[in-house]
Structure 1
Amino acid sequence: MTSDPSNHPNSSSSFILVGVPSLEAFPMCLGILFCSGYVIALAGNGVVLLVIGLDNSLRDPIHCFLAMLAVIDVVMVTSIVPKMLSVFWLNSVEIGYTACFVQMFFVHSTTSEESGVLLAMAVDRYVAICHPLRYQAILSRQTVAQIGLAIVVRALLFMVPLTGMVTNLPYCRSRVVPHSYCEHMAVAKLACADPRPIGLYSVAGSSLIVGMDMAFIAVSYGMIFKTILGKKLCRKAFSTCGSHICVMLLYYIPGIVSIYAQQFGSSMCVHARVLLADVYLTLPTMLNPIVYSMRTKQIRRAVLKMLFSRKVHA
């Protein structure tokens, strides 16, 4: 007796992406919105990577972390926006079975990596402000490389089991994903098997990663504020750290709400959940180059130097 092929997806299987449910009538507006954000994110992060790559003076640990953040942001936003634009503008709603899970892996692994880099940058600022004389000794090149490796390994340890669990589900129901990308729970809910173990694993893992990172970030900035209180550079440090914290909140709060809404927020509108998930993946990638990089004096000088020298040679 042969099994029903619909129960066992193969490489020719595909899913259908809805885009933003109940907002399908506004594809042009949504496309312009996300395309603009994508261009800004690519341009901003591209400039950061170009400047750090060309300027040999930008080799401090913080610049390594900024380069890592830029690469992660480019991968994150490229994983979803091009396909979203094809859905909105070209009505190319079909995504291959393998492509869907590859997209899922990159989207969710980069969110974990981004959180890890934000924590590493907070620790870097703590060491630079609270232990300036030991900065190079504490954050040596070897230590920075180990931190980067740990960030990537942690994301893999979280995402490989999750991707395997979702991939192995039997998909015998509708292949229509009520989302603008292959969000893992939106896909898992299409299976003809119980998706709750996947949801529980996702919520537990995400809560552990986000909770741990936010706790250490809070401690780092708390120690920074304690150190700078009453010093001459207090106002400047508060301005810099305050902008960092605002961007972090724009990343973490929508991310946390999105994670729990996918699992428990049945009363929340579907289009609101989808838009929230889209925003928390795209908005920080636009803001990170401005807040973290362009507000850094060395990078600002390097950008001006590059633009000025090119203008002179032209």
Structure 2
Amino acid sequence: MSTLSPENSLSARRSATFILGLHPFVRAEAWKFLTGYYSWQSSHDERLMVDSNRRKNYDALCQMYETLQPLLENLHGDFTETRNNIVYDIQRLYDKDPLGNVLVDKKRLEKNLLLSYVCNTKAEYQRGFHEMVMLFQLMVEQDHETFWLFQFFLQKTEHSCVINIGVGKNLDMLNSLIALLDPEFAEHLKGKGSGAVQSLFPWFCLCFQRAFKSFDDVWRLWEVLLTGKPCRNFQVLVAYSMLQMVREQALLESMSGDAILLACNNLIDLDADELISAACMVYAELMQKEVPQPLKDFFL
């Protein structure tokens, strides 16, 4: 009987995650492998060592931040403005479940957002990160786990949700994808719908968080993004699939860009598995086309 090589075994595990999803009981631990927090080939003892080192590094970053905070407050106006934005965003965050139980510790959330802003100069802070980091805090127990999982998530998804890095590229590729797969809709968007696609940047900034009916659905999609299956930058295929949900109405009613945007914003309570399946069908359709090089490089 043949056995899988380590590389094939790794690919099989990632494919299983993509196809089947993760059971909630194993999600927190499995995410450490998906993000790169742990190596897939690591032993139990090695993982204990890695976790210990990540905790120590996190504590060192916290100490550094406490030392630098007075200097940042006095010399960098951007720091004070960003801190105020973080505090404001967190205050507005609804942090209770339907029974009134507190879901998330806002002070811990604020701490990790500030630390991420100071340490990750590439991503900095943008509106919506507070909602994303909240989901990481809900998933794992320790602050150092929350911090590192978020950092690794950004890296693994090529900072696709960061405005000054990936969001603009996502929107450009979405326009190109529509032009290739749905010329009729593309023509409509060029006319009455002009600007509608560019206005969909919140989808990417929040990784579609507000489109789903549950946190489990959000995690399900994010897990697919982390696997890199069935292709890189799967988020653009997801956005295309969501746009297709309003396409018929947009063409039938000759909707303006503002009306299309409103219809897109009303796409809520979606089912992750159904959306992932729809996006996979888009990918299969794409593979049957003569794909322009920019799109090929982006997805493949």
**Larger fraction in helix:** 1
TM-score > 0.5, shorter chain as reference: no
TM-score (normalised: structure 1): 0.25
TM-score (normalised: structure 2): 0.26
